[in-house]
Structure 1
Amino acid sequence: MNQQTATPQLRTTERTFTVLLSPTRRGARLARLLAVAHLDLWGLPSETAAHIVAELATNATVHGRVSGRDFQLRLTVGPGSRLRIEVTDTRGDRLPATSAPDPLAESGRGLLIVEALADRWGIIPGPVPRKTVWAELDLVP
């Protein structure tokens, strides 16, 4: 008699959401709202991701804006229980850098917030004329 033991298969489903948005304040707000909606739909926590998307989308509209060219938001949840947030704009000639802003400044803290909230983040230059700023969050099962 042959006896077979069933081994559970782990699902390696990858979910992705991608959208092009206008490089305006409205486009940045819509990026955050769409990210929250999709993460909620996928049953994932969205609060930290919403803050990161808001900062990256705002940077794309303020520092990466080129008239007539949209920015792209991409959310990917991979098999390693990791959420990757990517925002691509068309100003590859302007790479972001973290720096300590003047204590009285009303702006300049976006990437510091991303750095504090994300488990990892970085910049991918190109292809010309683009750049992508990404952040990853490790999801707790």
Structure 2
Amino acid sequence: MNHATPGVGAPVHTYTQLLSSTRRGARLARLLAVTELRSRGVSRDLTERAELVVAELAANAVLHGRVPGRCFRLTLVLDPAAGRLRVEVSDARGDLRPLPCLTDPACDPLATTGRGLTLVTALADHWDCVPYPPSGKTVRAELLDTGA
């Protein structure tokens, strides 16, 4: 689904897609996000940062938020007037809340996985996690266009 929200100045565009909770679904989320942002004329810097954020959040939804038979949802909310993009990935596992490796004392510094949210922290201006009724969660990341 793709629609514009009426308002003052440039309209806010929202793109939403349900995807299978598989590696293929995670890859498709990344590709769809890039295609949507390019079609909206989003800067290369913002598109590249968003691509990596979507890839990490979608991979986490597939790896840690998967419930058999349930999809995950990708939502992009683009506000060109404010130079802001919000990436949301919702999954069915509200009982598993994300923690970036740097704040988790149980993280092994020599581990080869578990740094995805650290990357999201570095690329996004802000991220958080909120409940997604009835039993899921949404991880949201906000990215500002630096104009670079």
TM-score scaled by structure 2?
0.84
Distance 1:34 1:140 in 2: 22
SS at match of 1:122: strand
User: Matched residues in 1 for 2:75 and 2:62: separation?
Assistant: 16
Cα distance in 2 between the residues matched to 1:12 and 1:132: 26
CA RMSD, aligned part only?
Answer: 1.3
Which amino acid in the other structure matches residue 98 of structure 2? Answer: P
1:1-141 equivalent positions in 2, closer than 5 A: 11-44=9-42, 45=44, 46-78=47-79, 79-100=81-102, 101-141=107-147
C-alpha separation between the residues in 2 aligned to 1:51 and 1:43?
Answer: 18
**Larger proportion of helix:** 2
> Number of matched residues?
132
Question: Can you list the C-alpha shifts for 1:41-91, whole angstroms capped at 9, x where unaligned?
Answer: 001131110000000000000000000000000001124221000000000
**What is the CA–CA distance in structure 2 between the aligned matches of 1:68 and 1:140, rounded to whole Å?**
39
Cα deviation for residue 21 of structure 1 reads 0.3
Unaligned runs of 5+ in 2: 1-7
Q: Which runs of 4+ in 1 moved over 2 A?
A: none
| Deviation of 1:106 (Å) | 1.6
Where do 5+ consecutive residues of structure 1 fail to align? 1-9
Identity level (%): 53
DSSP-derived class of the 2:101 partner: coil
The C-alpha deviation readout for 1:96-126, integer Å capped at 9, x for no partner, is 1122432321210011000010001101123
Letter paired with 1:134: R
- Name the SS of the counterpart of 1:17 in structure 2: strand
Look up the equivalent residue of 1:70 and give its one-letter code: C
* In 1, Cα distance between equivalents of 2:137 and 2:111: 26
> In the aligned structure 1, how far is the partner of 2:97 from the partner of 2:134?
12
Q: Secondary structure at the match of 1:116?
A: helix
